[in-house]
Chain A
Amino acid sequence: MKQKLLAAPYLVWMAVFVIVPLIMVAYFAFFDSDGNFTLQYVADVAQYSNIFVRSVWLAALATVICLVLSYPLAYILAKMDTKVQSTMLMIVILPMWMNFLLRTYAWMTLLGNEGIINTLLGYIGLGPFKMLNTQGAVVLGMVYDYIPYMILPLYTVMTKIDKSVLEAANDLGCNSFKTLIKVVLPLSLPGIMSGITMVFVPAISTFIISRMLGGGSNLLIGDLIEMQFLGNSYNPNLGASISLVLMVIILLIMTLMNQFDVDDDRVLM
């Protein structure tokens, strides 16, 4: 009994600094400054529906691109010689340790009208193309910043796949493509799921990438929230209701994906 009490300080901490703040977000979303219940703020969120649609779309696009780029890479890495493997993984993950502001800034200087890409294109008589301050640049920034979060879980799950299972598939007449589709893909599903959440959640809630690479015209949900709390239009009630809607969207998408995950487990069994 006495030892269980050792968890008390942690529980109090999490209650005060995790649970209570989230309750406050909900309170600010549903009660005005006089303490009266109102649905006005939540209703106000509807006028920003185009920003919500854009955020979901761009984040989903970035997540899919990350998955498509990472899957073959993780597969190749997992099949490498074990001695080279850890070094290669370290090289792939290394950029993740640079602060993401600096990595995003790097693309800012690359994509600008006087940036190195447009200058090089200019030498062969092309451009300059408007690349910075476009939606494409925002998606590129999301892919670049968050792709390690996709590579890591995919790689981990693929190294755990028993080699003899692959050999068995081969012996039973699967070619390597069929083995990939019928054996590797289902077995790596948990990695795909955690990769998708680890990329999608920060991508849909970012305000840095949209601000640095998207200019002022490609606002995302994150920008909207930031503006209500630290921007010119200080309105914590609206900010809280937008945050609440964001959490609900993420929760819905994750529940949806878990559903899919469970179903597939059943198929495997």
Chain B
Amino acid sequence: MKKLSKLYVGLILAFLYLPILVLIIFSFNTSKSRSVFSGFTLEWYEKLFHNELIMTSLGNTLIVAVVASLIATVLGTVACIGISRMRKAPKAVIMQVTNIPIMNPEIVTGVSLMLLFVFFAARMHLEFGFVTLIIAHITFDVPYVVLNVMPKFRQMDANLYEAAQDLGCGPVRAFFKVVFPEIMPGVISGFLMAFTFSLDDFIVSYFTSGSTAQTLPITIYAMTRRKVSPEINALSTIIFVVVVVILIVKNMIERRAEKKGAV
């Protein structure tokens, strides 16, 4: 039984990793062939770094993700303060609305925002580009911030804030001294979630970016439409390595925190 389950886990892992492994191996291939390895080269990596389109779209992606997730974090966290003071019924309605962008298919979110932006573009000075892209990203980011921060308010003792005020703190000071440290873990995980969703998003960006502000996923999509482009393999390898490093570091930090918590 034990052997069987090990074999099963192994098979699933093979299914998950073999395609990525093949991409990585062929990113070092001298020929453009996808099946015959004819020699080692770093040519595709060099081409990748000299590919201006990829580098600008990487820059665009980072700008959009940072700006959108920061705004979403502030907007969402501030909203949670208000929502936590509300009564049950309005709270339930708001949480329902918060769930819409999460439950809706991304393509519907994308085209519905596109319709809105087309409407505004025809009547006001609005062009598809960074502004529409960032608005769209904030819109699908902010529910994740709210969903991460709200539970922290629920766990917190509401009397703490009042106690701080009784002891002479002003409302703002009481918030930053008492409430903020309590909800901080939720704010951080909400921000990180929003940031990664922004980095990774293709579908919503595809409908709301126009032609001027291309993000990396949009450029990747354009590259996959061409027949053979080994630079994608090189790019995949780099992204894979970055992801592995980030996850390992995250795991190490968490373990250290757990150990500290245990002491």
Contacts and interface: CB of A to CB of B under 8 A. Distances in A.
A97 B243 contact: yes
A22 B112 contact: yes
Contacts of B186: none
A250 B104 CA distance: 9
A165 interface: no
B142 interface: yes
Secondary structure dominating the interface of B: helix
A243 B16 contact: no
A42 interface: no
Nearest to A26: B112
B112 A24 contact: yes
Contact of A92 (B12, B111, B112): B12
A106 B220 CA distance: 12
Given A7-B79, A108-B224, A114-B33, A24 B12 contact: no
Contacts of B35: 114-116, 118-120
A31 interface: no
Given A25-B112, A109-B34, A250 B26 contact: no
B20 interface: yes
Contacts of B138: 13, 17
Interface string A89-111: 01110110111111111111110
Interface string A39-68: 000000000000000000000000000000
Contacts of A11: 79, 94
Q: Which of B8, B109, B112, B202 has the most CB of A within 10 A?
A: B112
Interface in B130-176: 135-136, 138-139, 142, 146
Contact of A101 (B114, B139, B224, B240): B224
Contacts of B86: 4, 7
Interface in B92-117: 94, 97-98, 100-101, 103-109, 111-116
Secondary structure dominating the interface of A: helix
B105 A229 contact: no
B119 A24 contact: yes
Interface residues of A, number: 77
B207 interface: yes
B9 interface: yes
B178 to A, nearest CB: 14
Contacts of B34: 109, 112, 114-116
Contacts of B108: 22, 25, 205, 225, 243, 246-247
A261 interface: no
Nearest to A251: B103
Interface of B: 5, 8-9, 12-13, 15-17, 19-20, 22-23, 26, 33-36, 75-76, 78-83, 85-86, 94, 97-98, 100-101, 103-109, 111-116, 118-119, 135-136, 138-139, 142, 146, 196, 200, 202-203, 206-207, 216-217, 220-221, 224, 232, 235-236, 239-240, 243-244, 247, 251
Given A6-B81, A72-B5, A109-B26, 17 more contacts: A9-B78, A10-B82, A21-B109, A24-B115, A24-B119, A25-B111, A73-B12, A99-B200, A102-B232, A102-B235, A114-B35, A119-B36, A144-B16, A201-B105, A202-B106, A230-B206, A243-B111
10 contacts: A9-B75, A21-B109, A86-B251, A101-B202, A102-B23, A102-B220, A208-B202, A246-B105, A247-B108, A254-B103
